[in-house]
Amino acid sequence: MKTGFSVFLAAFLAFGASWYGLVYGPLQQLGGAQQTVVLQSADNWPPQRTGEATLGLQVYRKYGCAACHTEQVRQTGAANELALTSLGVQKAADFKDFMKSVMIVPALLNASNTIIGNLDKWNGDLPVTLYSGDDSIVVSTLADKLKPVGVKTEALVVARGADIARGWGTRQSVAADYLYDEPVPLGNLRAGPDLTTIGVREPDPNWQWQHLYAPRSVVPDSTMPAFRFLFEVRKKIGGQSAPDALALKPEFAPAADLEVVPKAEARQLVAYLMSLKANAPLYEAPFTPVTAAKK
C-alpha cells in the first residue's frame, strides 16, 4: 500500500488534534486549579466540605439525583449599573435638570439618551437605576460627578440570565465551584430545579429531610419521588420526640406515638445539599453582593 504512511499520518493528526484539544489543553488550563479568593473579602473559595457532606456527594450519586437535577447556572450577560439611593437635600426636579447639564461630559455622551430616558420614566421612588450597560467608565464618571452634589449613588455589577432571574443563583457556575467534587454532578436534565445554591435557598436541614421523606408535604406541586427508605419510623423514646425528628404536617405524619428520624445516608445527603452555596463573587464571575436589604 503506497499511501500507508499518509493514512497513518492523517489518522495520527486527527486523533492527536482531538487529544490535544479535549485532554491536554484543558489540563494545562485548569489542571492546577486551587482555591481562589472571594472578591472583596479575605475568604477562600470554595470552602472545604465537611466529612459528612463529602460522603453526601456519593449518596447524591448513588440515588441518581443528577438524573433530574442540575448543578450549573447559566449566564447570558452582565451589566454595570449605577443606582441612585438617596437624594440628600436635593429635589427630584432640580436633580433632573442637573443631570441634563452633566450630560455634556465627553465620557457620558454616548450613554446620555439612555440616562435621560431612565430619568424621564422615573416616578420619584428610590432607589432608581440611572444607568445600566456595558461601560464601567460611564458609571465611575457619573458617580464622580454626583458625589459633590450630595446625592448618594451605588455602583453595582449585576449578572443576567434566565437561571439567575429564576432565583437559582446570583452568577454563573465556573470551574472553581467544582474543585472538591469527585465526580462533578453537573446533570443535564432539569426535571427538578437547579441545586447550585440550594444551601442558601433552603438552609433548614429539617425542611430538606421533610422534602426527601414526603416531597408534597413542603412543595405541593413537586414531582420528586419520596425517598422514605432513607428514614426510620420508630416509637418515640419515653414519649419525647428526638431533636432531629421530622416536623411533618399532620396528614403526612405517622401515628401520634411514632416519629420519623433520618438515617445516616439522609444526614449525609442533606449535609451535602447544605454545602451547595455557589453564590460568592469571584474574579471570573463578578457581581456586587447586595448586603443591605432593599426597601
Partner 1 sequence: MSDENKTCGNASNAEPTVTRSAAPMWIIVVTLGLLFTGGLYLDSHGGWFDAKVYAPYHSADQLEAFQPRSGAAAQAAQGKRVYEAVCGICHGMDGAGKPGQAPPLAGSEWVTTKGVNRLVHIPLQGLSGTLVVEGKEWNLNMAAMGVALPDSDLAAVLTYLRTSWGNKAGEVTADDVKKIRDALGGHPQPANSEQLKAMPE
Would you tell me which residues interact with partner 1 (CB under 8 A)? 2-3, 25, 29-30, 33, 37, 39-42, 75-78, 80, 134-136, 154-157, 172, 174-175, 281, 283-288, 291
DSSP conformational letter for 104: T
Q: How far is the CB of 169 from partner 1 (least distance, A)?
A: 14
Give whichever of 54 and 140 is closer to partner 1, judged by the CB atom: 140
3 state DSSP class of 284 = coil
Q: How far is the CB of 216 from partner 1 (least distance, A)?
A: 37
Quote the Cα angle for 243-249-266, to 5°: 50
Give whichever of 177 and 194 is closer to partner 1, judged by the CB atom: 177
Give whichever of 29 and 48 is closer to partner 1, judged by the CB atom: 29
Distance CA 59, CA 51 (A): 13
Give whichever of 22 and 191 is closer to partner 1, judged by the CB atom: 22
Give whichever of 32 and 250 is closer to partner 1, judged by the CB atom: 32
Give whichever of 164 and 248 is closer to partner 1, judged by the CB atom: 164
Q: How far is the CB of 93 from partner 1 (least distance, A)?
A: 28
Distance CA 113, CA 91 (A): 22
User: Cell for 161?
Assistant: 440570565
3 state DSSP class of 157 = strand
Q: Which residues are paired to 131 by β-bridges?
A: 82
Q: How far is the CB of 159 from partner 1 (least distance, A)?
A: 9
Q: Which residues contact 1 (CB under 8 A, 6 or more apart)?
A: 7
- Is residue 36 within 8 Å of 283, Cβ to Cβ? yes
Q: How far is the CB of 154 from partner 1 (least distance, A)?
A: 7
Q: How far is the CB of 283 from partner 1 (least distance, A)?
A: 6
Torsions phi, psi for 53 (to 5 deg): -70, -35
Give whichever of 42 and 93 is closer to partner 1, judged by the CB atom: 42
Listed residue (286, 280, 287, 289) closest to 45, CA to CA: 280
**Which amino acid, 4?**
G
Q: How far is the CB of 62 from partner 1 (least distance, A)?
A: 31
**Which amino acid, 28?**
Q
b/e map 240-257, b = 16+ CB within 10 Å: eeeeebbebeeebbeeee
Torsions phi, psi for 120 (to 5 deg): -65, -35
